[in-house]
Amino acid sequence: MRQALRNWLPGAVLALSVPASVAAQTMMTLEDAMARARTGTPGARVLAASVAAADARVTQARSAFFPRIDVTQSIQRGNQPVYVFSTLLSQRRFTAANFDVERLNHPVPETNVRTSVGINQAVYDAGTTRLAVRGAEWRRDLVTLEQSGGVQDLAFDAARAFVRVLQLEAAEHARAAAVAAAESDLERTRRRRDAGLATNADVLALEVHLADVQQGRIASGGELVVARIELAEVLGLPLDQRVVLIKPTPPAAPLEAADLAREGVNARNERRQAELRLRLAENDRDLARAAFLPRVGLEGSWEFNGSTWTEQRSGWLVGATVALNIFNGLGDRARVTEARHARSRAAAEREQVERRIEVEIRGAVARVTAARARQTAGSAALTQARESQRIIRDRYDVGLATVTDVLRAAEAVLDAEARATAAETDVILETVALDRAVGRL
């Protein structure tokens, strides 16, 4: 029984430990990384806060539609003649005796406790409140679009960091394979030297080659550690958290630059922002013109005045005001002119943005096409380099090739793997860049 338990226990421990180690790793696709960058990072929270602030400014603008109510509480004491005279009248304690010249010029100090409720309501403001609300709403929409563009930038930064890690992981695997191949070549050459078929110079050359590829592997390993830290920072993860990246397969759909350009012009936030800036310029022009129109308002107040809190007397006052700007040093007319030119500039900028978007999309299409071609050529070159290395090794074993040929073949394989890896990851990143240019992120 004890022997059976001893035989079963190691297997049970291994069965329990393997799932735990696997569960401790975080599997992540490119889509997962971009989605996390859009929502789960400090940068995403900063962008969201800017939208909330812009929405609050809309509420501030709408507040001008409602009356303003102020409550004022004050207490004063003094013997200033005008103050004493008005205080006695406000407190309804003025008598004929107060007309005495001596009392008017040298009054007894009085205390006034005043409670006031004031109401002001704009009846007609030449549409400035309506225009201010509309402008605030458009500015909120503009900030929302900027937030959306910022989120897309965060997603693209995450994709770039993701692809960088993939590229360095592939380079690490290639370097490890190169080290293994160099060790195998060195061992083969040592055997040939011991058999009298190679020289110490051949062994020394392969030892130098092995040291070189080992150094390259150490350097690429350090770069991979840094790239993983940068990826964790972009994704808002703990910097020491390891994630297992799942390499995506880019779609091989044909690219129609004209169709993508039309889609991008309609979908890109920059184009919508340019349209909103044009509307804001027109709104500012209308606001400038409103300065020449009259304004009508109502106001009222209800006051309580007394020498103490308990002896206050009430009084009220209502009225209406009409204001018309007759002359303001030509400043209002200059603001109208400024707004008109700003509107013309916004219209030109909208056209400029549309052309720039089309240029970006056509450039992105060209880069994706070139990256796909490089990937195909790189894959073929890698296959050929590996086959050439195999043939040269076989020839070296029978004495038909030199150690220089072996080294040259090993370097060719390493270079071909680096180019193939770069081309493959470039396809992934350029495809994401094309989606960003079209406005799909």
d(CA 209, CA 258): 51
Residues of the chain with pLDDT under 50: 1-23
Chain position carrying tokens 């960088």:
164
Each domain of the chain, given as residue ranges in start order, spans 25-438
In this predicted structure, what is the pLDDT of residue 80?
Answer: 93
In this predicted structure, what is the pLDDT of residue 25?
Answer: 63
| Cα atoms found within 13 Å of the Cα of residue 50, Cβ hemisphere only | 17
CATH code linked to domain 25-438: 1.20.1600.10
* Both structure tokens of 119: 């109401």
Q: What residues contact residue 44 under an 8 Å CB cut-off, 6+ apart? A: 37, 38, 151, 154
284 in the Ramachandran plot: left (φ > 0), alpha (ψ -120 to 50) or beta? alpha
Instruction: Give this prediction's pTM.
Output: 0.71
In this predicted structure, what is the pLDDT of residue 281?
Answer: 93
In this predicted structure, what is the pLDDT of residue 239?
Answer: 87
